Copies of this chain bind each other. A is one copy, B any other.
Amino acid sequence: MPQGKVSVVPDDGLTTRQRRRQAVLAVHTGHGKGKSTAAFGMALRAWSAGWPIGVFQFVKSEKWKVGEEQALKSLGNVTWHKMGEGWSWIQRAGTERDHAAEAAEGWAQIKRDLAAETYKFLVLDEFTYPMKWGWVDVDEVVATLADRPGTQHVVITGRDAAPALLEAADLVTEMTKVKHPMDAGRKGQQGIEW
């Protein structure tokens, strides 16, 4: 892969070193596989750089992503929050669930963590959906991310990312499904699919 070949040298008065320290907002979108998986792969690099990592998982999953969670937790320096289990920082009494309220609580915590610079690398997994469903305001997300202090890298995954989010992102990759085993009636494979 080409290393650091830039096509334009920006007239921003920054040194190369300063530019290397800019925070990245990445979005993995599209209907193909690998959006979350690539985000967790990026977390490997962040871990290797010694950065505290925060994962906020916005969609409930039984088996899906448990492998990544287990492996990244084994490495350490990773805090994993799951909306599907009512978030890690909230003690919930009843069993009544309000997904819209839970998503808003997740986003409120992310705002607090961004302000506090709790992490240096954040995965907001499947975070496009609460925005799509109107549970979290896209413009507020974009404004909050634009103003985040320090060098906090953020990766947002999920289908149907909002245009304003794509506009704000530094790096957008679309994963396209070309062929999938389930099309041929094959079942998900343990260790591959979850």
Contact = CB atoms under 8 A, between A and B. Distances in A.
A172 B178 contact: yes
A63 B3 contact: yes
A84 interface: no
B173 A45 contact: no
Interface of A: 1, 3-10, 16, 19-22, 24, 26, 28-30, 32-34, 36-42, 44-49, 51, 59, 61-64, 66-68, 70-72, 74-75, 120-121, 153, 166, 169-194
B182 A64 contact: no
B68 A41 contact: yes
Contact of A75 (B36, B74, B177): B74
A54 B21 CA distance: 33
A170 B177 CA distance: 11
